[in-house]
Structure 1
Amino acid sequence: MKSRKMMKSKKSCSIQPHTCAYIPAELLTQILAILPVKTLVRFRCVCKSWRSIIDDPVFVSMHLKLNNFNSSKLISLEGLGPDGYSGCSLTVRNANTFRKTGCVFKSSERYYLLGRCDSLLLMFHPNTHEMRLINASIRKSLLLADCPILPCFGFGPEFIFGFARLSQDYKIIAISFESIERVEPRQTRVAVYTLSDQQWAIRENGLNIDWLSFDRIRGPYYVCDGAAHWLAKEVGPGRDWRPTYLVSLDFDTETFTFSEIPDDLDNFDSSRSLFLLGESLAIFCVSFRTTRIWVLEKKSGKKDWTLWFSGRSSRDCLDLFYRRTHVITRVLYYEGDGGYIVYEKQSYNIATGQVELLGKFMSRHVEYEKYSESLVLCNGYETEDMSSSHLS
């Protein structure tokens, strides 16, 4: 009797590994789609059927939507050495404290962060003009082909990185402006890199850029709804020094559009910063009296600015935002107790008006983005493994 029980138990154990074969493919896909990236990378080695599911572009897109970003983490590119130019490191930090939680890589060369889309970071080496796409969540790096547009008079092209929704492809748009005394544009050269082809293509006709009437405000761009967005102001004597227009570059049509931003008349002397509030564009206005947040929302088929928050200003808020309009720094928003904004290695609580220094992180040169995870670059590309934490 004892031996029969043991035989039954062994038989049941031998069947258990094959029970996954009876799970419907749709249910298995849904289960895998909510798992972390590191788990999915290991599960690719379980069997061919699991690997085919995880490597499917449709699954990669589904997983990205279900795991959009980790709101408690930042990915920061930090300069090394006393001057900040002796190398760099790509570091994962806690958004609340800036405390280091992991290191993606270290390099003796100085790289710059040109942009982020989903989990991909576009990095640039100023001396060699080398560009890489990096997925920090899976520690993969893709070296891009050389851009056909070279720097002109010491000024390199401007690179804009994002995702084209219609073609379902990642794009890098390189734009070079040649001007006479930097006033009137003389020629625009444009090249576009697509991740699916891994090649650059010259756009002979350029883009519909009207830079005679508008001057883009220096600062980072924000990718939302298949387009890159900046703040801009009108050019000419007597014009407002503050941004008054939103400039958008659509990645599918590769065309620019211009639209007005809220007048915010009560905050006549306010500074204005662009940022992302969830999946929507938002503008943070700071004056000596109030702080306001306007959100671009879709109503009746059209997009319009809606006042999302209004509160009293504070001296700390003025010192952080209003007096630093010359600083080129990304503004990031996080949910929390009333919501808070990360700017210049400090956090601003919009409900209480309090400003706090994020830990003791005092690197002189730092560029940061929200940390997100995806399987992009996991398969189908000749990538380099960054698990050694060093970039060659």
Structure 2
Amino acid sequence: MRQPRPRLLSPPAVLPEELIAEILYRLPVKSLLQFRCVCKSWKTLISNPQFAKDHLRISISNTSLTHQRLASFTNDNYGYYRMETCSVPSLFENPSTPAKTLSFQVEPYNNQFIVGSCDGLVCFCDQNGYLRLWNPCTRLESKKSPPVDLKPGRVNHRWFWDYGGLEKRFAHYGFGYDQVNDKYKVLIADSRHGTLYATRVHSFGTDSWTTIQNFPCALTSQVGKFASGTLNWLARKGDGSIKSLIISFDLEKETYGKVLLPPHVDGDELDVLSSCLCLCEFNGIHCGLWLMKEYGIQESWTKLASIPYGGVHYTL
């Protein structure tokens, strides 16, 4: 009897490299770190700096809170400081259960504060003026920056930090990304007893600080908000009026600029929402929330909400 011929197995389907990359872009960092062991081509792809940039771009475009994390410093009874982060969704999944956190331990008895965050990186400073970057997803940290000159006070031959903490020593600061030069930069303005000594900028990956011109007018906010390649603070006009404006610092050119608020609006709080500057205004009757859809274009300010408070309901 004639034996049936064995069936030839079809070769396994091979996905195009472009499609594989598109799938990997949408996976969490923890999975990507594991998938580097699948094969050499995946390891090469995932380890490519351009892959990291494309993965970040797609993650940012996700309008859900899947990739958002909260970060803070805590200390225990033994004097150890830790930076802890947790995902925003974990706070809502089961409110009665403590959220899972990632922890990064720093030197004991070394006061720390967070300068800012950008592209998933957290920039923090210690009491000796050294700054570092930490990636909560990969748990990798950068080398220390050169120390920024803090000009500490001296009492009883011991150094101390006035104004109740290291963070208060800096009148203004901010952290962001210079896309043109592919550098993460930090700005710090050192002050003491209300006097601004100097404003300095550091590019991570270099071994120096650059002293720049102090701010052109008095700022009313301490932390610079990063948007469109600039750091932004609320400020008062220098003509004696009480009207606010926004002072910006271009991280590429390292120059100052001004951004106008919506007409007839005075700002109280500045933040970032969906990569755009967001402004809060309190007028005693309601809270107005504004969004600048096109950076630097005054006409692009759009009012998102008007929230009544103080027992008075106000309708626009």
TM-score by length of 2: 0.75
8 Å CA contact 2:170, 2:188 repeated in 1: no
Alignment of 1:307-386 (within 5 A): 307-315=302-310
Aligned length: 287
Q: Which residue of 68, 72, 76 corresponds with 1:77?
A: 72
Structure 1 consecutive aligned stretches of length 4 or more whose deviation exceeds 6 Å: none
Alignment of 1:217-366 (within 5 A): 217-235=220-238, 239-240=241-242, 244-264=244-264, 272-298=268-294, 302-315=297-310
Residue 77 of structure 1 aligns to which amino acid in structure 2?
Answer: S
State the SS of the aligned residue for 1:67: helix
Shift of 1:150: 1.4
Identity of aligned residues (%): 19
- Alpha-carbon distance between aligned partners in 2 of 1:250 and 1:317, rounded to the nearest angstrom: 41
The question of 1:193 aligning with 2:203 is answered yes
Shift of 1:208: 4.4
8 Å CA contact 2:26, 2:59 repeated in 1: yes
Change beyond 3 A, Cα 1:137–1:88: same
8 Å CA contact 2:174, 2:223 repeated in 1: no
Alignment of 1:55-94 (within 5 A): 55-68=47-60, 71=65, 73-81=68-76, 87-94=81-88
- Alpha-carbon distance between aligned partners in 1 of 2:267 and 2:173, rounded to the nearest angstrom: 26
The question of 1:216 aligning with 2:219 is answered yes
Change beyond 3 A, Cα 1:103–1:43: same
The aligned counterpart of 2:141 is 141
8 Å CA contact 2:30, 2:138 repeated in 1: yes
- Alpha-carbon distance between aligned partners in 2 of 1:173 and 1:101, rounded to the nearest angstrom: 32
- Alpha-carbon distance between aligned partners in 1 of 2:311 and 2:120, rounded to the nearest angstrom: 33
- Alpha-carbon distance between aligned partners in 2 of 1:289 and 1:304, rounded to the nearest angstrom: 25
Alignment of 1:145-156 (within 5 A): 145-147=145-147, 149-154=148-153, 155=169
Change beyond 3 A, Cα 1:317–1:173: farther
Residue 254 of structure 1 aligns to which amino acid in structure 2?
Answer: E
Residue 112 of structure 2 aligns to which amino acid in structure 1?
Answer: Y
The aligned counterpart of 1:105 is 103
The question of 1:48 aligning with 2:58 is answered no
- Alpha-carbon distance between aligned partners in 2 of 1:286 and 1:188, rounded to the nearest angstrom: 32
8 Å CA contact 2:185, 2:201 repeated in 1: no
Structure 1, residues 16-66: CA drift from partner, whole Å, max 9, x if none? 5xx5xx332222222211121111111112222111111212211110011
- Alpha-carbon distance between aligned partners in 1 of 2:306 and 2:267, rounded to the nearest angstrom: 15
8 Å CA contact 1:151, 1:157 repeated in 2: no
Residue 53 of structure 1 aligns to which amino acid in structure 2?
Answer: L
- Alpha-carbon distance between aligned partners in 1 of 2:225 and 2:112, rounded to the nearest angstrom: 20
The aligned counterpart of 2:177 is 163
- Of structures 1 and 2, the one scoring higher in RCO (CA 8 A, sep 6+) is 1
8 Å CA contact 2:173, 2:223 repeated in 1: no
Residue 277 of structure 2 aligns to which amino acid in structure 1?
Answer: L
The aligned counterpart of 2:212 is 207
- Alpha-carbon distance between aligned partners in 1 of 2:301 and 2:144, rounded to the nearest angstrom: 40
Shift of 1:225: 0.6
Change beyond 3 A, Cα 1:101–1:36: same
Change beyond 3 A, Cα 1:161–1:138: same
State the SS of the aligned residue for 1:39: helix
The aligned counterpart of 2:165 is none
TM-score by length of 1: 0.62
Shift of 1:145: 3.1
- Alpha-carbon distance between aligned partners in 1 of 2:57 and 2:312, rounded to the nearest angstrom: 34
The aligned counterpart of 2:29 is 37
Shift of 1:100: 4.0
Residue 274 of structure 2 aligns to which amino acid in structure 1?
Answer: G
Aligned-residue Cα RMSD (Å) equals 3.6
Which structure 2 segments of 5+ residues have no match?
A: 154-168
Shift of 1:93: 4.8
Shift of 1:200: 2.8
Change beyond 3 A, Cα 1:152–1:235: farther
- Alpha-carbon distance between aligned partners in 1 of 2:189 and 2:135, rounded to the nearest angstrom: 24
Shift of 1:254: 1.0
- Alpha-carbon distance between aligned partners in 2 of 1:129 and 1:79, rounded to the nearest angstrom: 19
8 Å CA contact 2:227, 2:275 repeated in 1: yes
Shift of 1:120: 0.1
Structure 1, residues 149-203: CA drift from partner, whole Å, max 9, x if none? 31124446855321112122322334446x8x745x6x64534223xxx223343
Residue 103 of structure 1 aligns to which amino acid in structure 2?
Answer: T
Change beyond 3 A, Cα 1:210–1:133: closer
The aligned counterpart of 1:117 is 118
